[in-house]
Amino acid sequence: MENASKALLMAAGVLIGIMIFSLAAYLFTQFGGTSAQIHENIETSQIEEFNSQFTSYQVKDTVTIHDIISMANLATQNNQYYEFAKQTATGKNNYIAVILNGNSIEYGFGTKRDVIEKEYNKLIEREVNNINNATGLKNYAIRTEISDITKRVFRVICTEI
**Strand partners of residue 155:** 97, 145
Q: Edge-to-edge, what's the strand order for the sheet holding 140-146? A: 103-104, 97-100, 153-160, 140-146
Residue range 19-75, pLDDT digits in tens: 999 999 988 887 777 777 888 999 999 999 999 999 999 998 889 999 999 999 999
pLDDT band at 114 (very low <50, low <70, confident <90, very high): very high
The per-residue b/e assignment along 131-161, b for 16 or more CB within 10 angstroms, e otherwise, is eeeeeebeebebebbbbeeeebbbbbbbeee
Q: What are the residue ranges spanned by the domains of the chain?
A: 57-160
